[in-house]
Homo-oligomer: A and B are copies of this chain.
Amino acid sequence: MKKPNLLKETKQILIRFSEVDSMNIVWHGSYVQYFEDAREAFGRKYGLTYQNYFDNGFYAPLVDMQFEFKNPLQYGDTARIEIEYIPVKAAKVIFKYQIFREKDNALAATGSTTQVFLDSDYKLVLYSPDFYTEWKKRHHVI
């Protein structure tokens, strides 16, 4: 039996002036956008962006997000975000993230996000939508 694929993407970002606080390090809130940037880069690679959810008649809001901060990022730093899709049977989309500081390859942050599906009336979808089941099959993640 074949093992499921590990779907991954890497996204490089340049830390902006406005993302840094008066401690001269990236404000913790900026990492939410970094995760979303990586998630959308993953989505463009594999067909799983917010737009793809909309086009199939669904919303996919976050129900859980977690961040651990290990080493600070500073204005002008280049960071590398590695995102990995975590396969689950439930009607959920789960990602894990690692952010590295390019100049010394130090781990800057880790975390995860979990999304569920809502239909166009904002009702929670308990079973995996067909398009998502198809997506999983197509990418051999189940």
Contacts and interface: CB of A to CB of B under 8 A. Distances in A.
Interface of A: 16-18, 20-25, 27-29, 32-33, 36-37, 40, 49-51, 59, 61-70, 72, 75-76, 122
A75 B50 contact: yes
The 6 A-B residue pairs with the shortest CB-CB distance in the complex, in nearest-first order: A29-B32, A28-B62, A66-B66, A17-B50, A20-B22, A22-B24
A64 to B, nearest CB: 5
Given A61-B69, A64-B67, 17 more contacts: A16-B36, A17-B21, A17-B22, A18-B27, A22-B22, A22-B24, A23-B59, A25-B61, A28-B32, A29-B29, A50-B75, A62-B67, A62-B69, A63-B68, A64-B69, A65-B67, A66-B67
A67 B66 CA distance: 6
A75 B25 CA distance: 16
A32 B32 CA distance: 8
A132 to B, nearest CB: 18
A61 B36 CA distance: 22
Nearest to A69: B63
B33 A29 contact: yes
Given A22-B75, A72-B61, A72-B122, A36 B40 contact: no
